[in-house]
Chain A
Amino acid sequence: KAGVTQTPRYLIKTRGQQVTLSCSPISGHRSVSWYQQTPGQGLQFLFEYFSETQRNKGNFPGRFSGRQFSNSRSEMNVSTLELGDSALYLCASSLERDTEAFFGQGTRLTVV
């Protein structure tokens, strides 16, 4: 059974640009969550989607957005990139909303 797949694995962007990250959950999983991991702030919750609806959002500015498609695949978008957005972005999927989440390998974003 394939795990959570995130693409791309690495990304370098310039300040002011926008970026879209993709996440394909484990087959059959309907809940997808996104987390940002930085050395200073650790792992922080960005948002959670369930059946194409955003059900929860973390304390991030509106530049961070996401969506989930009918096949449960999810994308997150960051507009007007700032240096501080450099981080490992992790996607997690779970079967239901209160079961364990399985994480992808992440997308490492570097903003220069």
Chain B
Amino acid sequence: AQKVTQAQTEISVVEKEDVTLDCVYETRDTTYYLFWYKQPPSGELVFLIRRNSFDEQNEISGRYSWNFQKSTSSFNFTITASQVVDSAVYFCALSEARTSGTYKYIFGTGTRLKVLA
């Protein structure tokens, strides 16, 4: 069965610290997609990144970086030099490309990040 685990419920850091949000997933499919979304207090889920199962290359986008390791079924997210505006709930999600063509997102429970000034 597919599952996404975000073991860290809440993390507090001081501004300018680096922080890593963990994501571990389970799936039987060989083709799947992983995502990270940010949910600020306004409620909207903001898309951050999409990675397919065949692309294990790490990615960096400004202060954000992602480490995808199939061997450990992990897709971790690091924010470098955190800022107060990074405070939000972050969700990791899994989508499977089943042969039937249907898909849905399986979300983790989210990690609430608090960045203190």
Contacts and interface: CB of A to CB of B under 8 A. Distances in A.
Interface of A: 33, 35, 42-43, 45, 48, 55-56, 58, 88, 90, 92, 97-106, 108
A contact patch SS: strand
A15 to B, nearest CB: 24
B44 A106 contact: yes
B102 A48 contact: yes
Nearest to A42: B109
Interface in B58-117: 91, 95, 97, 101-110
Contacts of B47: 100-103
Contacts of A55: 101-102
18 contacts: A35-B105, A42-B109, A48-B102, A48-B104, A56-B104, A58-B104, A90-B45, A92-B45, A97-B101, A98-B95, A100-B35, A100-B47, A100-B50, A101-B47, A103-B47, A104-B44, A106-B44, A108-B43
Interface of B: 33, 35, 37, 42-47, 50, 91, 95, 97, 101-110
Contacts, number: 55
A8 to B, nearest CB: 13
A105 B43 contact: yes
Contacts of B50: 99-100
A47 to B, nearest CB: 9
Contacts of B91: 43
Nearest to B35: A100
A67 B44 CA distance: 22
Contact of B44 (A35, A58, A103): A103
A105 B44 contact: yes
A58 to B, nearest CB: 7
B42 to A, nearest CB: 6
A102 B35 CA distance: 12
A83 B105 CA distance: 25
B59 to A, nearest CB: 14
